[in-house]
Structure 1
Amino acid sequence: MKKLFILFFVFLFVTNLAACSSSQSSTEKGGTLKKVSVVLDWTPNTNHTGIYVAKEKGYFKEHGLDVNIILPGEAGADQLVASGKSEFGVSYQEGITQARIQGIPIVSLAAVIQHNTSGFASPKAKNIVSPKDFEGKTYGGWGSPIEKAVINSLMKQENADVEKVKVINMGDADFFTAVNRDIDFAWIYYGWTGVEAEIRNEPINMVYLTDYTKKLDYYTPVITTNEKMIKEDSETVKAFMAALTKGYEFAIEQPADSADILIKAVPDLDGELVKKSQEWLSPRYQNDAERWGEQKLEVWQNYSEWMFDNGLLEKELEAEKAFTNEFLPKRGK
């Protein structure tokens, strides 16, 4: 009995030694992966392709990360990132600007798209081809004061009166349902809804914000984290951004393959829409910037000044604290 007892402990010792050896080997090969999450701003679409590519192609793992992609739910992405419940997120320059004015320590790490591709869309039959044509029409939005301010900013340039625009909340209705029901125009991203209009053979007119003022050529969307993460775990931020950059660079160079990756990850998406949207959006991720994700101080200053001048901010933004290019890989690496 004693002999069996001793043999049993010898067996446990050898087993544990092997396990430790295996664990040590795993560590030598790169160690355990650090679990982090990135919360999207909305349902998955081609704004997010680089994230899904980085996960599918193993770029996050190469940089020691196990990344969980999550949806925001009732708590918005900014709140989850600011509170540390998600290490990273997807947001918009306008949201970060308002958050920082309120003392919420969220920071933009990269511009997903270099220039604002949004604008006011309407069915061609409504003949809305300029901000002047907004008069007498009904706009469908989501209830943000920014919307009326942007419409007013464009209309003033054509001596038009924003008070002649009826503004209603279109709720959860999509653009196509809403314009056939009770509105004349809405604010969309051409890279998704505009491309969908092409597929549906429903011609639309677009009034792009950037055609009327450079101050509205802001970054939307952006990748975010919080100040605490930058201060206390900058290596993880650096690793995440290195992998993510690689993901978006792949999406820039391989739009068809990256679209397939997004469709595989989110099979409920319309495959044709994803492919055509990706083809349209891929060259616009980096556009005229020296590298993907690059942000300019003047863009942050211009938009925050516009927001302040239009009564959307209580005070002026310290723009240099709202974003950083520090964690973007150096060009050519």
Structure 2
Amino acid sequence: MKTVKGFSKIVAMVGAVALGLTLSACGNTNSASNTDSKNSGSTPTVSFMLDWTPNTNHIGLYVAQKLGYYKDADVNVKILPTAQAGAETSVENGVANVGFTTLSNVAAFNSQGADLKFVFDLTQKPVARWCALASRTDIKTPKDLSGKTFVSFGSAEQTAVVRQMIKYAGGTGDIKTATAGTNTFETLTSGKGDFGGFYVTWEGVESELNGPKLNCFVASDWGVPGNPDQLGFAVKGSWLKDSANADALKKFIAATKKGYDYALANPDKAADILVEQAKEAQLDSKLTRTSMEEIAKNNYWTTDDPKSLPGTTNFDDAQPYLEFQYKAGTYKDQDGNDPASAPQAKDLATNEYVG
């Protein structure tokens, strides 16, 4: 069973902050300096780095590229595979103009001196799930996770969420950890761990289609405040100071949003475009279609209009979660100490570039 390691990859990024803001020699070598947005004559170019293997989280980019939305907006777009250093470090170091990340990751990186700005929020509802195999009848609520082994990449953010859920449910919050392998499903079925993190829109769909069945919990149902899952796009703050770059970003976001809206209105057609355009990922067509149908049906990306995503950061959802993680000690400065105050969503994110 081919698995895209979505959730485990993204939530591991905060742990990667401790490695520092340096480029890996194995990273992508394409440069994305300010001149990128001024080349090709009068048409600017924006380079976008994925956070992991192409999947439905990225579908708007592939649809916009295939259907000519970028051409119509007069912007060239280069989609880059994720570098070993990660999208955040790559954007900070000029390897890419825009990267797929989370607002909390931006908070973590900026606490260590990075200059990232969250400019587009894809998800409007929590999509992360904390799951044990359904066959584990001894695990009925998060309380039952006390003393169990958590399959993770050692992320402080993950650990804080899980411990809060357990305590809220009446447990001790004490857990053991095991490093996730290439497939969290396999780690659980092998007995090396008791529960792990998944995305309902991808691995949750895969579980329903192919098994094994999961028993999952949503963090916001168990005492974790705000929306932990604000996934979207970030750029380097200083890059935006150039008006040409700011204009290019507005064009890019408008065309990409149009791609996501098309996917919401035409989930199967958009899924087929993703599979075709991202051949290197060898995506399963049924999984991709069902994932997009799940997203459209349950309005994970939308608020008022189910066929159009806002793309804006909900600051009322963002700040409580940042405060929670700050109190848990997740964010550290360059010396490994707690910052003087909690990260502020209004400083980390802006809705200025979403039309």
Task: Determine if the TM-score, normalized by the shorter chain, exceeds 0.5.
Answer: yes
CA distance in 2 between partners of 1:270 and 1:117 (Å): 21
More helix by share: 1
Does structure 2 conserve the Cα–Cα contact (< 8 Å) formed by 1:252 and 1:285?
A: no
1:99 is the counterpart of 2:109: yes
- Matching of residues 1-333 of structure 1 within 5 Å: 32-127=42-137, 128-163=139-174, 165-171=175-181, 173-181=182-190, 182-213=192-223, 215-232=225-242, 233-267=245-279, 268-283=282-297, 284-288=299-303, 291-313=309-331, 314-315=338-339, 316-329=342-355
* Change beyond 3 A, Cα 1:167–1:225: same
CA distance in 2 between partners of 1:67 and 1:184 (Å): 42
CA deviation after TM superposition for structure 1 residue 52, in Å: 0.7
Aligned residues: 298
Two-structure CA RMSD over aligned residues (Å): 1.8
Does structure 2 conserve the Cα–Cα contact (< 8 Å) formed by 1:129 and 1:207?
A: no
CA distance in 2 between partners of 1:33 and 1:168 (Å): 48
Q: Secondary structure at the match of 1:286?
A: coil
Does structure 2 conserve the Cα–Cα contact (< 8 Å) formed by 1:285 and 1:292?
A: no
Q: Is there any run of 5+ residues in structure 1 with no aligned partner, and where? A: 1-29
When Rg is computed on C-alpha atoms for both structures, the one with the higher figure is 1
Does structure 2 conserve the Cα–Cα contact (< 8 Å) formed by 1:129 and 1:206?
A: no
CA distance in 1 between partners of 2:327 and 2:184 (Å): 30
* Change beyond 3 A, Cα 1:109–1:219: farther
CA deviation after TM superposition for structure 1 residue 39, in Å: 0.3
Q: Secondary structure at the match of 1:215?
A: coil
Q: TM-score, normalised by structure 2?
A: 0.80
CA deviation after TM superposition for structure 1 residue 97, in Å: 1.0
CA deviation after TM superposition for structure 1 residue 320, in Å: 0.9
Q: Is there any run of 5+ residues in structure 2 with no aligned partner, and where? A: 1-39, 332-337
Does structure 2 conserve the Cα–Cα contact (< 8 Å) formed by 1:31 and 1:64?
A: no
Q: Secondary structure at the match of 2:64?
A: helix
Q: TM-score, normalised by structure 1?
A: 0.85
CA distance in 2 between partners of 1:271 and 1:234 (Å): 36
Give identity over the alignment, percent.
28
CA deviation after TM superposition for structure 1 residue 285, in Å: 4.3
* Change beyond 3 A, Cα 1:142–1:224: same
CA distance in 2 between partners of 1:298 and 1:205 (Å): 29
CA deviation after TM superposition for structure 1 residue 276, in Å: 0.5
CA distance in 2 between partners of 1:138 and 1:318 (Å): 33
Does structure 2 conserve the Cα–Cα contact (< 8 Å) formed by 1:131 and 1:207?
A: yes
CA distance in 1 between partners of 2:163 and 2:295 (Å): 28
Q: Which deviates more from structure 2 when the two are superposed, residues 317-326 or residues 291-300?
A: 291-300
CA distance in 1 between partners of 2:151 and 2:295 (Å): 25
